[in-house]
Chains A and B, each alone.
Chain A
Amino acid sequence: MSKGRFGKYGGQYVPEIVMPVLTELEAAYEKYKDDPEFLAELRKYYVEYAGRPTLLYYAENLTKHYGKAKIYLKREDLLHTGAHKINNALGQVLLAKRMGKKRIIAETGAGQHGVATATVAALFGMECKVFMGAVDIERQKLNVFKMKLLGTEVVPVTTGTSTLKDATSEAIRYWAAHIEDTHYIIGSAVGPHPYPTMVRDFQSVIGKEIRQQIKEEAGGRLDYLIACVGGGSNAIGTFHEFANDSDVKKFGVEAAGRGPAVGDNAQTLSNPASRPGVLHGAYSYLAQDDDGQVIEVYSISAGLDYPGVGPEHAMFHEEGIVKYVGINDQEALDAFQLLSREEGIIPAVESSHALAYLEKLMPNTNKDEVVVVTLSGRGDKDVQQVAKALGEEI
């Protein structure tokens, strides 16, 4: 079995051309991941630029609304650029700088990872190209403009279904042709080794802070963790720290879209129809048809509609470490509105999936228990789409 496995999942299913650069990346990551100077620099940017640590906020009104366990929100939405994506982008750009790379590339679906990458590229004066499906460019004009403003070239991808999976393939193709001077910042805990490990490590700051803050601010008790899962980077960042805490029940919330039919949702782990396969370099769970062709998945949330999922989640799923569940579009929209009204916090539609799971979980909790929901991003980017879904013209 090859390197970078989580149980039987993971690996390096990439063209031979990419192998030398993955080996180079792995060596660089091994060298710097525990290097005090690297970690100090990363910490500096986390604190001074991104705004870490993020708050662990006691949602008193939401707690009263359910009348059960205490609900805390891990406020990744307060980070610079509005989501957890910056944690990973900063880590990888600092690594790319040390590797002497001149150019950064990334794929993006909703544009959040694209904006985070364009942001760090601007900060460090690196050339940046972001690959984005032509369909997504049309759907996410605001983020496309933001990226351009930040000095990034947005490259439209018109192959296949012209969405995130095709943008990812195109980024890999571009990388294969420019391995000498280019670093590819994958946006989620997916892809070939060492990406799932590296992205997980950069996002693990979420779980580590939760542990610390629960101890200092919430009396130390933690019973439930909830995070949304697309590729799964905010979720793995939340769960990894607690992987061995069996008394902390962990829920990964996938997008159940508009129904259980193939292509109507983006559930890879919580859908009994999905099975393991290889996409973008890793063996994990995958939405595919009977012939093994990857299918286009659907969610109201552009950040969750990826047909694959990080390989560590596949292992957590099989070992029962995390329970993966589905929340549909309507449930997410309800949660989006509920948090806005109760707490004055407009959540990202992605994070609204995690919040929506409270409806199902809370009735079974007790008043002395504690729930933490990772609020992975803020909802400014989604208001237009939500207004449309609610039948309002803005």
Chain B
Amino acid sequence: MSRLQDKFSELKAANKKGLVIYLTAGMPDMEGTIKAVKMAEEAGANIIELGIPFSDPMADGPIIQAASYQAIKKGMTLPKVLELVREIRKFSQIPILGMGYINNMLNYGFDKLTVDAKEAGMDGFIIPDVPHEESGEMKKACQEQGLHLVEFVTPGTTDARIGETCTTADGFIYCVSVNGVTGVRKIDYGPINNVIEHVKKQTDTPCAVGFGIGSPEAAVEAAAKADAVIVGSAVVKLIMEDKFTEAADLIGAIRQALDKKVK
């Protein structure tokens, strides 16, 4: 069992929903990211999605775009993201997934990247511009190192496609709540909940819902059928403004709401 799988088993045994927090690597700077991971874990995060900044983040809304752009300007690179993971592993065993776009990884080389990521203590990758059809080579490289490669379903994913995705799903399934990009907004979770019901019939791989979740109320709604929720832009916005206390309060409030209201 991997660190990530252990975490989901632990949550399930405790009858708790998972909380995944996205943080852009290099925001506000290297030290700040380490501080943010510490803060998030203490406030109740179970898993960290560490954003690998890319110049053209096609699946991200304005907040994460701005965070990525600034992080690159400040010199963040994929090798430095791995350095960050090594630093985090000195004080935490929280599962960490690298969330980034395929070009940086192609450029680094899939085989070298997965070897180096494993060595650094990363647990897998989430690559939003790699749908199921294009995932083969990276999947293979990840599997050889015992890393997870997360796959996606959306409200528009057909039943046939859900079937295909579930055959290779691994770590968790990223359930995109809504058509569009990342960023906080009011969302109807009905459509993605229907998709999750289909997914649950075909696989035991946990489901995590993401996109648009920025408050305890939204997290509770999003978690209805899922095993975990993913919160990104809302936290990143606060981190960018150097509001660590507020970020911790938000994560803590979401944690509490999930523990209280969702069974």
Contact = CB atoms under 8 A, between A and B. Distances in A.
B150 to A, nearest CB: 11
A310 interface: no
B104 A292 contact: yes
Nearest to A277: B103
B58 A15 contact: yes
Interface residues of B, number: 44
Interface centre among B55, B77, B136, by most chain A C-beta atoms within 10 angstroms, is B55
B69 A17 contact: no
Contacts of A260: none
A367 interface: no
Interface residues of A, number: 39
B176 to A, nearest CB: 6
A2 B134 contact: yes
Contact of B56 (A11, A160, A291): A160
B172 interface: no
B103 A176 contact: no
A45 interface: no
Interface stretch (B27-35, B39-47, B123-131, B213-221): B123-131
A13 B134 contact: yes
A19 interface: yes
A12 B78 CA distance: 23
Interface in A38-53: none
Contacts of A294: 55-56, 103
A288 interface: yes
Interface centre among A12, A173, A179, by most chain B C-beta atoms within 10 angstroms, is A173
A194 B178 CA distance: 24
A165 B180 contact: no
Given A16-B154, A20-B158, A169-B57, A159 B102 contact: no
Interface of A: 1-3, 11-17, 19-21, 159-160, 165-166, 169, 172-173, 176-179, 276-281, 283, 286, 288, 290-295
Given A17-B156, A20-B156, A294-B56, 12 more contacts: A11-B134, A12-B133, A13-B129, A15-B58, A17-B179, A20-B158, A177-B180, A179-B156, A277-B106, A292-B104, A292-B105, A293-B55
